[in-house]
Amino acid sequence: MRQRSPDAVYPLGTDLDWEWDQQANREHYVDLRRTSLRLTKAASFALGGVVLNRAIAAIHILFLSRQDHSTEGAAAQWTPVPGGGLLRITLPL
């Protein structure tokens, strides 16, 4: 594709051409495009959620860092359950 020559990359008659001969093939192509757009949008929302989560966590850390550093009343409790366990952490705020 360096010289804008698709025939050099995709020679004719190599079964790489899209099949537009049937309506089902056209609909399949449209479905692929719609799925691609939907997944791109979902990925954008997921990335936005991750960034928002980090921003909220940073604000929360700033809030906690300005609190009294007393650990009085802090506790951690591990409860084993089938397939893993539960960790409960209690911090005084």
Structure tokens at 41: 């949008």
Q: Give domain status of residue 1, yes or no.
A: no
Q: 90 and 75 in contact (C-beta within 8 Å)?
A: yes
Give the span between the Cα atoms of 40 and 45, in whole angstroms.
9
Q: Which domain holds residue 55?
A: 6-90
Residue 33 domain-assigned (yes or no): yes
Render pLDDT for 11-62 as a digit per residue (tens, 0 to 9): 777 776 666 778 888 888 889 999 999 999 999 999 999 999 999 998 888 8
* Residue 11: DSSP 8-state: -
In a domain, 84, yes or no: yes
b/e burial code for range 25-41 (CB count within 10 A of at least 16 → b)? eeeeeeeeeeeeeeeee
Q: How many domains does the chain have?
A: 1
Contacts of 1 by beta carbon, 8 Å cutoff, 6+ apart:
8, 9
- The whole-model pTM stands at 0.47
Q: Three-state secondary structure along 28-69?
A: HHHHHHHHHHHHHHHHHHHHHHHHHHHHHHHHHHHHHHCCCC
* pLDDT tens column, 21-32: 788 888 888 899
Domain assignment present for 60: yes
Residue 62: inside a domain, yes or no?
yes
